[in-house]
Amino acid sequence: MITVYHYLILSAIIFSIGTFGVLTRKNAIVIFMCIELMLNSVNLTFIALSRHLQNMDGQIFVFFIMTVAAAEAAVGLALMIAFYRNRESIDSDDFNMLKW
Amino acid sequence: MLSILFYLFATVAVFSAFYVTKSRSPVNSALWLVTTFICLAALYIMLDAPFMAAIQIMVYAGAIMVLIIFVIMLLNLGTAVKKRYTHALVWGGAMSVLMLFVTNFLIRRGVPTGKLGDVTTQTIQSYGHTELIGKAMFTDFLLPFEIASILLLVAIVGAVILSKREV
């Protein structure tokens, strides 16, 4: 029998893997993809709890998270293109123009 | 039957999520990420949310991943053959394992209870999931829906301005 705990723990595992990727990768686009992974695990939590509580509100929240993720993808990738035009690289180690 | 399907999709989702962080080439990471999204969509179907599964496939595995792969190929990011592609493996791994233990502890200790609503499996199957979503979105959540449209407009303008060569 699959309970809501199974879904919550699966979502926690995927979130931790996403955190691992954000902390350890250098390529900014892969970091971005790991952030998408974390957002998706939160979506899974929302839908599992929405089913568990027999309520529709969690799924509406998932809808808005997807909207924000789409906006974030557009703006974030535009930022990466602008950065690549200046520095010829998107390694996160090269993001040091504000350092002194 | 349902538990076999759950464990199958959960295992594939976790493995492909791990390979997103592991593979050296960004294009491989993107393809593993598509696999994760498809497994999550299958789990949404098992959670009686077929509309969310369709949206997941269309928006995430379709639109966002096409945008990411487009940018990877536009910037011509090949595989970094000799350079290191990771940093802080020990500390990052320790932090994520710590986070996994803490969340597991909290999930196992707490009990998710609350006021139950009226959307049961029978309701979803008789009304249809899309109708229930639409009813909730255009009555209770009308103002957030309009704000989301403004957010998308701002994101379009921001993306155009940021990627222009000269403003």
Query: Top-level CATH class of B1-80?
Result: mainly alpha
Chain A residues with CB under 8 Å of B114 CB are 53
Q: Do B40 and A43 touch (CB under 8 A)?
A: yes
The ranges assigned to domains in chain B are 1-80, 119-167
Split at pLDDT 50, 70, 90, the class of B12 is very high
Q: Do A70 and B92 touch (CB under 8 A)?
A: no
pLDDT at B142 over 70: yes
Distance CA A5, CA B108 (A): 8
Closest chain A C-alpha to B60 CA, distance in angstroms: 8
Query: Top-level CATH class of A4-92?
Result: mainly alpha
Residues 6+ apart with CB under 8 A from B133: A56, A59, A60, A63, B51
Beta bridge partners of A25: B86
Q: What is the ipTM of this complex?
A: 0.93
Mean pLDDT of chain A: 92
Lowest-pLDDT range, A16-20, B39-43, B132-136?
Answer: B132-136
Q: pLDDT, tens digit, for every residue of A10-37?
A: 999 999 999 999 999 999 999 999 999 9
Closest chain B C-alpha to A85 CA, distance in angstroms: 9
Q: Do B75 and A47 touch (CB under 8 A)?
A: no
What pLDDT is recorded for position B80? 60
Q: Do B33 and A37 touch (CB under 8 A)?
A: yes
Residues 6+ apart with CB under 8 A from B108: A5
Split at pLDDT 50, 70, 90, the class of B167 is low
A81 touches chain B (CB under 8 A): yes
pLDDT at B134 over 80: yes
Q: Do B21 and A20 touch (CB under 8 A)?
A: yes
Distance CA B95, CA B101 (A): 10
Q: Do B37 and A40 touch (CB under 8 A)?
A: yes
Residue range B88-113: mean pLDDT, rounded:
92
Q: Do B67 and A73 touch (CB under 8 A)?
A: yes
Residues 21-60 of A with CB under 8 A from B: 21, 23-27, 29-30, 32-34, 36-37, 40, 43-44, 47-57, 59-60
Number of A:B CB contacts under 8 A? 221
Query: For B113, left (φ over 0), alpha (ψ -120 to 50), or beta?
Result: beta
